[in-house]
Amino acid sequence: MPSSLIDVIRQHVPTAASLTMAARVEQPRGLLAALARVPDPRDRRGIRYSLASLLAVAVCAVLAGAVTFAAIMDWADDLDPAAGRRLGFTGRVPVLSTLWRLLIRVDAATLQAVLTDWLRSHLPVPQPTVRPHWRIIAIDGKVQRGARLPDGRQVHQLPAYDTTDGVVLAQVQIPAKSNEIPAFTPLLEQVVARLGSLNNVVFVADALHAQVAHAREVARLGGNLYVAVKANQPTLFAQLKQLPWAQVPVGDHRRDRGHGRRETRTVKALTVCTPGGIAFPHAEQAVRITRTRIVGDQRTHEMAYLVVSLPADQAPPADPQDWACSEWHIENRLHWIRDETFRENAHQARTGNGPAVAAVLRNTAIGFHRSNGEPNIARATRRANRRPHDLIDAVTRNYPTTQ
C-alpha cells in the first residue's frame, strides 16, 4: 500500500516525465498540433477519427459556451463541412457516443498540461522590470456538486490559477477519503513541470494550507508562500496575534467602493525572520490586514493574519495587500465562472474521467477568453458561438492573436 496520502494522490496523476513532455513550447502552436501530444487511450483497431480532432471540437464547443457533453455534440453537429474540415474531419462529425467514450477515458491531468501549454505559448512575453515580476498563483479547492464518483462522493479538485494571465496551470483531482492537504505537493510538481522553475513565483492560499510541510516543499522547489493563518494552527495563530502590532506603522492603506459597500483595508507587516521567530519555517514577514466594511447601516470589522516567505525589501506592504486581493481571483474569476456561466454544478457527469475532463475544458475556455482580454466570459462565449469560423481560425493559428 502507499505510505502516505501524497502517494495516493500521485497514483491519480501522470508521472513527472509524462507531464514534462508537454513543457511549454517557445513557438505558438495551433490547437490541433498541441492536442496531437495527448496519449490516445483507444484501441488502434477501428479508429475512424483522430484524437486531436475529437478533442479540438470539444475544446471549441466549450469555448462557444457548451456546458454538457450533449451540448458539445450539438455544437459539432451544427458545423458546416468547411468548418469540420478545418478541425480535421473529412466527412461527418462523430456521434455523441463516440466523443463521450473518448472524453471519459482521456487522462485529465495530461490534457490540462497540454492545453495549459497551448494557452501559455500564445501569451505575450513579460517585459523586463527593475523590480522582480512576481507571478501570483492562487490555490483553492473546487467541488463539482453535480458530479459523483462511483461511491457517490462529490468530485473535489485542487487547481493552481495564475492570477496574472487568468490561466489554470495545473489541477489535481482529490481521491475519495482524502482532502486538499496531501494534494498540495503533487500540484506543485505539476506547476513546476509547466513553468520550468518557481523563480519569482508566489503561491497564495487559504488557512488550510498553512502547513509546515507545504512551506518546506515550496521553499525546496524555489518558490515563495503567502498563506493565511487561523485557529486551525493555534500555536502559530497565537504567536501572530501577540506580536507588537500597536508599535508597527501602517504600511499600506486603501479605500474601495462598489456593489453598495465601502471597504477600508490597512496592512501592517513585521519582520519575523529572527532567532526568536515564529513557529513556521521560511517565514520572513508576518502580515496583519484589517478590513472595515460598511454595507448600508451595518459595519463589520475583521483582522486577518498571514505569513509570507519574502523579506520586506522584496515584498513591501503594498505587495501583500495586492496578493491578498489576488487570492479572491480564483473564486471570482474561475470558480464562480465555472458555476454560473458554465453551470458546472448542474452537470451530472459521473463516468470515468468525465467530470475531470469537463473541468479541464471549462478551465481552458476561461483561460482562452481571459488571455484575449475578455472581461465578460459569458459574452465572449456567446460571440464565439455566433462566429464559429472566427473561433476555429483563432485556435488553429500558429501565432498569437486576439479573437
Residue 149 counted as domain residue: yes
Residue 349 counted as domain residue: yes
Residue 402 counted as domain residue: no
pLDDT for res 187 = 96
pLDDT for res 210 = 94
Strands 298-308 and 224-229: antiparallel
Q: What is the pTM of this model?
A: 0.88
The domain in which residue 379 lies consists of 5-125+134-396
Residue 78 counted as domain residue: yes
* Phi, psi angle pair for 10, to nearest 5°: -60, -30
- Asked if residues 224 and 218 have their Cβ atoms less than 8 Å apart, the reply is yes
pLDDT for res 169 = 97
Residue 401 counted as domain residue: no
pLDDT for res 74 = 93
Residue 346 counted as domain residue: yes
Q: Count CB atoms within 10 A of the CB of residue 78.
A: 13
Neighbouring-strand partners of residue 269: 287
Q: How many domains does the chain have?
A: 1
Q: Is the dihedral of CA 121, 320, 217, 230 positive or negative?
A: negative
Residue 403 counted as domain residue: no
User: What are the per-10-residue average pLDDT scores of the chain (403 residues)?
Assistant: 49 49 56 94 83 95 95 92 89 84 93 96 69 87 82 86 94 84 95 94 95 96 96 92 93 84 91 79 94 87 94 93 89 94 88 91 96 94 95 83 45
Residue 225 counted as domain residue: yes
pLDDT for res 21 = 45
